[in-house]
Amino acid sequence: MKRRKSLVAILLAGGIAWGQAAQQNSAPDHMDRHFDPEAAARIFDDPARDAWQMPGRVIAALACKPGQIVADIGSGTGYFTVRLARSVARVYGSDIEPGMVSYLRI
């Protein structure tokens, strides 16, 4: 019997990186426009983010094994996607913003 590869999914809410909306029923200001991936990368991939996001600890807690497939849903510019790719065989980054997906492919 063939063993299935494990699938690990990471759901990273944009609200964590951007803060929450002032009111529960209102969308954040950035939701009504498309992002410029280059400008977003300066914010999303800022090395200072490591201090509070602790990507090493997050990835360690997932206990990913080589050969597993990981899905980074809401991958943005690939902050976690790139780091996960160093620890597992295959990572799929997905985002609703087409520009972010194109940026991540580079």
Residue 95 sits at φ, ψ, to 5 deg, of -150, 150
28, part of any domain: no
Instruction: Say if 26 falls within a structural domain.
Output: no
| 2: in domain | no
Number of domains in the chain: 1
Report the mean per-residue pLDDT for the chain. Answer: 75
pLDDT of residue 65: 85
Instruction: Please tell me what DSSP assigns to residue 48.
Output: T
Per DSSP, which regions of 1-106 are E strands? 7-11, 69-73, 90-94
Is 25 contained in some domain?
no
Quickly state the pLDDT bin for 28 (edges 50, 70, 90): low
Instruction: Answer yes or no: is 23 within a domain.
Output: no
Residue % of the chain over a pLDDT of 70: 67
Q: What is the pLDDT of residues 2-26, one digit of tens each?
A: 444 444 443 333 333 334 333 344 4
Cβ atoms < 10 Å from Cβ of 19: 9
Judge if pTM exceeds 0.75: no
CB atoms within 10 A of CB 45: 14
pLDDT single digits (tens) 52-91? 999 999 999 999 888 889 999 999 999 999 999 988 868 9
Calculate what percentage of the chain has a pLDDT beyond 90.
36
Give the structural domain span for 12.
7-18+34-105
Q: Is residue 65 one of the residues assigned to a domain? A: yes
